[in-house]
Structure 1
Amino acid sequence: MLYLQKYIEKIIRGEKTGYLAAVLKWLLFLLSLFYSCLAKLRYYLYQHNILQRKKAEVPVISIGNLATGGTGKTPFVAFLAEELGKDYQIAIISRGYGAEKEVVEPFLISDQAGLYAAAAQAGDELFMLARNNSELIFIRSAERAAGAKLAVEKGADLILLDDGFQHYQLERDLDIVLIDALRPFDQAKVLPAGFLREPATALKRADLFLLTRSDNVDWNQLKAIQDSLLEYSPDNDGVFTAVTELKGCISVAGQEKKAIDFLAGKKVFAFSGIGSPTAFKKSIEITGARLVSYKVFADHYNYQQEDLLTLLDQYSASQADLILTTEKDAVKLFDFAEMIGDLPFYYLQIAMEINESAQLIEVIKNKLALRKARHKN
C-alpha cells in the first residue's frame, strides 16, 4: 500500500514518465474533478443550511490545513493551548487519527483527573498532546458537535478543534489555516491528482494563516506565498509565520533527556510514520547528525512487535550509534519499553516558535472578545 502511495506521488510530481504514467495521471485528473465537485457541493449544502450546522455554547477555534501531510498542527495546538489556557479552560477535540478503532460516541481521553486511554485508543497526535498537557480536556470524536457538547459538560469554556477546516458541521468563531512554506500549494490540484483536500479557493474561509517551516525558504519566496494567500482571502486577519525549534531528544524507554547538540556527529538510524517524513529527515540533518538509514512508514502507522524487532535488527546491521524517531511515533512504542531496554533509542523533541506570537494571540483574543460582546447584546 505504501509503495502504491509513493508511486502515485511520483506521478503527481512528474517524476514518473512513460505511457502508463501518462494514463494514470489522466485518470487521477478525472477523479480529482469529481472529488473537487463533491467537496464544493458538501460546503454548499452546509452554507445554505440544507445540511444543518450546530453551534457550541462556548467559542470554537478551528486549526486545520488545505493540503494532506504534516504542516505542524500538533505543536501549534500545543502553543495555542498554553497561551489561551491562561484565561480559559480549554478542551481539544480531534477525530483521533491513527487510533486502532473507530468510535461512535465522544470519548474522553483525559482531563485534570487523569489520562483514560492509551495511544491505540486516542490516536497518536491526541495522545501525545494529552500526556504533555494534564491540565486540559481532550476528547476524541468523529462528530465534532457531539464532542463539543461533552467538552462543555466537562467545564470547557473554549474549544480547539484539531484538523477542523473541512469539518463544517460545527460552527467556529475563528478558522486558522496552517500552510507549509516548503509546499504551500502542493501541486495545486485536489486529491488524487494533487495533495489538496479541497480547491484552493476554499482559503477564502480562513480568518488567518500561519506559514510553518518559514525558516526553510528565502524572503522572496515567503513574500510570494503571503501575497498569494492574501489574494485568496483579502479580508482576513493576516499571515503569520513560524519556525521549527529542535528542543532535544528523549529516550523512549527511560525518558532521559539529552540536549540537541548530543546528536552532532552521531551516526543515526531513523524511522517515522508521519505526514511529512522529509521534514523530519531535514530536522535530523540540521542537528549535524549523520543519517545512515531512514525507514518511512505510512502516516499514523500502528507499530506491532514484529515491526520493532525488524527495526532493531536493521539498526544493528547499520552500525549506527543510536535510533531516532518522532515523538508522534514514540508514543506508540512505550508499551515495548522492555524490548527496547537500555538501547540508545530516542525521539526528537520539536516545538514551534511563532515569530509574531504576541500579535497572533492578541488577534485571537480580540476575536473572542467580539463574540462575547455579541452574546451579551
Structure 2
Amino acid sequence: MNNLRWLLFPFALLYGLVVTVRNWLYNAGVFKSRSFDLPVISVGNLDVGGAGKTPMTEYLIRQFKDDYHLSTLSRGYGRRTKGFLLADVKPSATLVGDEPAQIKHKFPDITVAVCEDRVAGIERLQADHQLIIMDDAYQHRAVKPGLSLLLFDYSKLQGISLMLPAGNRREPFIGRKRADVIIITKCPANLSDAEQQRMISKASPFPHQQVFFSTIIYLPFTNLQGQPASVQIDNDTTVFLLTGIAGTGPLTRHLQAFTSHINHHKYPDHHPFTLKNIAKLADDFNACTEQKKLIITTEKDAQRLGEQGLLQQVSKLPFYVLPIGIDFLGDGRQQFNKLAENYVREHRTHHRIY
C-alpha cells in the first residue's frame, strides 16, 4: 500500500462503515426498495468503472430488442443536465452522458433514458415498455431488480481491493450476495478450466448464484459517425491512441499485437475532452514523421469528441473508432441467454411485440 493509500485508509474505513449501515437499513426494510411489475434487469459492479457494464448492457439489448419494447435507464454520468431525460436521435454526451449517447447511437430504435432517481425513471417508462435494463445500478438500492447481474473484472478480482477513497471498491465484498448472476469479465479467450475454478473461488459465489465468464471481442473499425472504415495496422504503423476510459489494459494489449508503435494520450474515465487536449494530440500527430500513422479512440470517447465545440478541430484529424463487444466462454452464451430469456418471459406483464 503506497503512502497516499495509508493516508486515505481511515477514510476508507469510515466510508465502508457508512455503506454497510446503509445496506443493513435496506435489508432490514427501514429504507424501502421498490419492485415493479415489468422485468427489470440491473447491470453493475462493486468497483468504480472498468468492468464492462456498457458492453454487457449492449449484449442484453441485442438479445431482446427484436421481441420486446425495451428501454435502458442510467444515471447519465458526466452529463450537464438533471432529472429525467430521453436521448434523442442525435444524442449528446453533454445532455445524457457518454455511455447513454453511445447506446442510442448504436441502437437508435430503442428508448435510452437517464435519471438520477431510478424509481422515478422506471415510473416514467413502465407504461410504454416491456423491459427495463438498468446500467450501473447495483448500488441503487431504491429499486429492487428482478434480475441482478454483478460484474467482476478478471484482472482486478485477483488483487486486493480497498474501499473508496483508498481503493476503488464502492461497497464491501459481502455486497455480492444481492446478485442473482456473477459474470467475470475481460477474461483471456483461452481461459483454462483450472483457472476458471480458481476465479470462481475468488468470487466466492453464494449457492443461489450462477457464475459466467466473458471475454472482450473487438469489432471492425468505424469512423466517428459509426460508419464502417477500412483500417490496416502493421508494425510499420504508428498508432496515436486517445482514451478517457477506465481499464485501458485490454485495448492496449490488443493493439500491441499489431504494432509496437503506440503513443497513448490517456485521460481519466469520462474525461471531458478540451480543445487543449485535441491540440496536444494534433501537435504530436503532425510531428510524427512516419508515413503510416492514424488515431484510434473508443466508442465511448467518440461520443465526447462529437461535442460541437470540438468538431472543427477533431474533423481535421484521421480518427478511427474501435468498437468492442463481449462473448461468453464455453457454452456460457447458451446458458446465459436461456436464463435471461426465462426471467423476462416469466415476468412480463405487457403484450409481446411480434
TM-score by length of 1: 0.84
* Residues 297 and 305 of structure 1, relative CA distance in 2, 3 Å threshold: same
Among candidates 184, 192, 196, match of residue 165 of structure 2 = 192
For residues 1-377 of structure 1, the aligned pairs below 5 Å read 14=1, 16=2, 21=3, 24-99=4-79, 101-103=80-82, 105-110=83-88, 114-115=89-90, 117-153=91-127, 155-184=128-157, 186-215=159-188, 218-219=191-192, 220-229=194-203, 231-236=204-209, 238-252=210-224, 255-258=227-230, 262-265=232-235, 266-286=237-257, 288-319=258-289, 321-334=293-306, 335=308, 336-341=310-315, 343-355=317-329, 356-371=332-347
Check whether the contact 2:44–2:53 (CA below 8 A) recurs between aligned residues: yes
* Residues 77 and 326 of structure 1, relative CA distance in 2, 3 Å threshold: same
- Any stretches of 5+ residues in structure 1 without a counterpart? 1-13
Amino acid at match of 1:57: D
Check whether the contact 1:182–1:217 (CA below 8 A) recurs between aligned residues: no
Query: Which secondary structure state, in structure 2, belongs to the residue aligned with residue 215 of structure 1?
Result: coil
Query: Which secondary structure state, in structure 2, belongs to the residue aligned with residue 263 of structure 1?
Result: coil
Check whether the contact 2:182–2:205 (CA below 8 A) recurs between aligned residues: no
Query: Which secondary structure state, in structure 2, belongs to the residue aligned with residue 279 of structure 1?
Result: helix
Q: Equivalents in 2 of 1:349, 1:218: separation in Å?
A: 23
Amino acid at match of 1:296: K
> How much has 1:198 moved relative to structure 2?
0.7
Check whether the contact 1:67–1:186 (CA below 8 A) recurs between aligned residues: no
Aligned residues: 341
- Any stretches of 5+ residues in structure 2 without a counterpart? 350-354
Q: Percent identity?
A: 27
* Residues 340 and 188 of structure 1, relative CA distance in 2, 3 Å threshold: closer
Check whether the contact 1:124–1:300 (CA below 8 A) recurs between aligned residues: yes
* Residues 253 and 339 of structure 1, relative CA distance in 2, 3 Å threshold: farther
Q: Equivalents in 2 of 1:204, 1:59: separation in Å?
A: 20
* Residues 312 and 353 of structure 1, relative CA distance in 2, 3 Å threshold: same
> How much has 1:71 moved relative to structure 2?
1.2
* Residues 257 and 41 of structure 1, relative CA distance in 2, 3 Å threshold: same
Q: Equivalents in 2 of 1:35, 1:194: separation in Å?
A: 11
> How much has 1:304 moved relative to structure 2?
2.1
Check whether the contact 1:271–1:295 (CA below 8 A) recurs between aligned residues: yes
Check whether the contact 1:124–1:331 (CA below 8 A) recurs between aligned residues: yes
Q: Equivalents in 1 of 2:285, 2:226: separation in Å?
A: 19
Amino acid at match of 2:287: A
Amino acid at match of 2:343: K
Q: Equivalents in 1 of 2:10, 2:347: separation in Å?
A: 42
Q: Equivalents in 2 of 1:85, 1:256: separation in Å?
A: 22
Query: Which secondary structure state, in structure 2, belongs to the residue aligned with residue 284 of structure 1?
Result: helix
> How much has 1:256 moved relative to structure 2?
4.7
Deviations 1:134-188, CA, capped at 9 Å, x for gaps? 12111110000111011124x1111001001111001110110111111115423
Q: Equivalents in 2 of 1:38, 1:170: separation in Å?
A: 19
Q: Equivalents in 2 of 1:285, 1:325: separation in Å?
A: 15
Q: Equivalents in 1 of 2:68, 2:276: separation in Å?
A: 44
Query: Which secondary structure state, in structure 2, belongs to the residue aligned with residue 245 of structure 1?
Result: strand
Amino acid at match of 1:339: Q
Deviations 1:92-131, CA, capped at 9 Å, x for gaps? 00111122x240x211114xxx44x411111111100011
Partner of 1:8: none
Considering fraction of residues, name the structure with more helix. 1
TM-score by length of 2: 0.89
Query: Which secondary structure state, in structure 2, belongs to the residue aligned with residue 307 of structure 1?
Result: helix
Query: Which secondary structure state, in structure 2, belongs to the residue aligned with residue 258 of structure 1?
Result: coil
